Amino acid sequence: DAGVIQSPRHEVTEMGQEVTLRCKPISGHNSLFWYRQTMMRGLELLIYFNNNVPIDDSGMPEDRFSAKMPNASFSTLKIQPSEPRDSAVYFCASSLGEGFRYEQYFGPGTRLTVT
């Protein structure tokens, strides 16, 4: 299996622009997680999907962030409009099971820089 696939790997954009990050989970996994990692705040859970349905989005920082999972093999995280403080590495992870008690397989991440 190719593992969790994320694109792009690097994104540089200007403040105010829309940014869309993409994730393909491991085939057969039914849970998907989006995380953000920064030096200041560490690894933070943004949103969790189970069977394509958003279960917990309490970690989404504000209305500028939105996430969708239209099918079992694809998810997007969108930031509109982007701000410099959104600069971080964004990880997508998937797991075989519901909830947080199963091994999560992380993708390589997308490094976002907002200037």
Told to check if 25 binds another protein by CB under 8 A, we report no
> Which of the stretches 23-31, 68-76, 79-87, 105-113 binds another protein when contact is defined by CB under 8 A?
105-113
Cβ nearer to another protein, comparing 58 with 71: 58
User: CA dihedral in degrees (94, 35, 71, 83; nearest 10)?
Assistant: -160
Told to check if 104 binds another protein by CB under 8 A, we report yes
Quick check: 58 and 77 in contact, CB under 8 A? Answer: no
- Applying CB under 8 A, among 24, 46, 109, 112 the residue interacting with another protein is 109
Near another protein in 30-49, by CB under 8 A: 42-45
- Catalogue the E-assigned strands of the chain: 5-7, 10-13, 19-24, 31-38, 42-50, 53-56, 65-71, 74-79, 88-95, 105-106, 110-114
Told to check if 88 binds another protein by CB under 8 A, we report no
The helix/strand/coil state of 60 is: coil
Provide, rounded to whole angstroms, the least separation between the CB of residue 16 and another protein. 28
